[in-house]
Amino acid sequence: MESGHDHFALLTQSTLPHGLLSAVRLPDSKNEQLSLDALHVASQLLHHDELQLANALAVPRRVSFVGGRVALRDALNRISPQHREQPVLRNARGAPLMPTGVLGSVSHKRTLAVALVAPLAPEVQTLGVDVEERPGVAELARPDLAPKILTAYERNALDDLSLRDALAYREAVRLRFALKEAVYKSIDPHVHRYVRFQEVEVFPEGEGELEVRLFLPEFARQQITVRAWWTQLNDHLVATAIASPLESRD
């Protein structure tokens, strides 16, 4: 029988090209009593002010928030231990309000929460992380998301795969969704608005770094450099992105 002690435990900690990634296991939010037991155990790992934020949420949302903060605290404590006692709250757009000089991003899915933390640097001024479940055969019965999240150019690049291997195609679409979400988080502090899927193109090949193209009017006078990266973590896809604005054009 599962207990609260089985959850919110660190599953992995990895040094990635864009920062330190921590991942923790989440309890099944559909089992409210199990979730409450797990949340009670995890409450000892968070700052009092973080708990106040969590307790204002319904149980399913509280599970993901607490999981994200547990992962974030683990990574933050290793990157910047001097901030161990400082709470990580939320800014006006819901992103983690990190200590000065440190960057952080959080993502979660049904059974997993991840956090990416890195020191602020000239080449890394903002960052983002996203985690998505790898699709199973049940995904084939659901509508194809490609028309909603991919540009025509991106869809054309996957046409051959869609004919050869339907499940691999769905995973390729899911990966591009994760990468775009990570890119959105990394550029949000620069644009302060919702970015449409059609405003970003990503071109992953094998695991690792990939090309990113932005089609944002905000950068007509200011350029921004964005780099994305991805890997597989058990039955999940993890995507990260970092952004750094260049000097404004004349």
pLDDT tens digits, 50-79:
999 988 988 889 899 999 999 999 999 999
Q: Tell me what pLDDT residue 38 has.
A: 80
Q: Which two tokens stand for residue 210?
A: 């990939």
| Third-level CATH fold of 4-120 | Ribosomal Protein L22; Chain A (3.90.470)
Q: How far apart, in whole angstroms, are the C-alpha atoms of residue 126 and residue 123?
A: 9
Helix (H, G, I), strand (E, B) or coil at 86: coil
24 neighbors 9 (Cβ within 8 angstroms): yes
Top-ranked range on mean pLDDT: pick from 11-20, 21-30, 57-66:
11-20
The pLDDT tens digits of the residues spanning 151-191 come to: 999 999 999 999 999 999 999 999 999 999 999 999 999 88
Q: Tell me what pLDDT residue 249 has.
A: 46
Q: How far apart, in whole angstroms, are the C-alpha atoms of residue 60 and residue 39?
A: 11
The DSSP result for 142-204, as a single string, is: SPP-HHHHS-HHHHHHHHHHHHH-HHHHHHHHHHHHHHHHHHHHHHHHHH-S---GGGEEEE-
The distance of Cα 243 from the centroid of its chain, to the nearest Å, equals 14
Q: Tell me what pLDDT residue 222 has.
A: 63
Q: Tell me what pLDDT residue 8 has.
A: 85
Q: Where in the chain is the domain with CATH 3.90.470.20?
A: 4-120, 135-248
The pLDDT tens digits of the residues spanning 221-241 come to: 567 889 999 999 999 999 999
Angle between helices 48-55 and 59-79 (to 10 degrees): 160
Token pair 């899911």 in the structure block, residue: 174
DSSP 232: E
Q: Which two tokens stand for residue 94?
A: 């819901």
- Sheet of 19-25: strand order equals 10-16, 19-25, 112-119, 102-108
- Grade residue 141 by pLDDT with cuts at 50, 70 and 90: very high
The burial of 6, by beta-carbon neighbours within 10 Å (0-12 exposed, 13-18 middle, 19 or more buried), is given as middle
Q: How far apart, in whole angstroms, are the C-alpha atoms of residue 143 and residue 92?
A: 33
Q: Comparing C-alpha atoms, which of 166, 180, 192 is closest to residue 237?
A: 180
The arrangement of secondary structure in 135-248, i.e. its CATH architecture, is Alpha-Beta Complex (3.90)
User: Which residue has better confidence, 38 or 64?
Assistant: 64
Q: How far is CA 179 from CA 73, 157, 194, in A?
A: 24, 16, 16
**3 has a pLDDT exceeding 50:** no
Q: How far is CA 189 from CA 25, 45, 107, 145, in A?
A: 28, 28, 17, 27
The pLDDT tens digits of the residues spanning 98-112 come to: 999 999 999 999 999
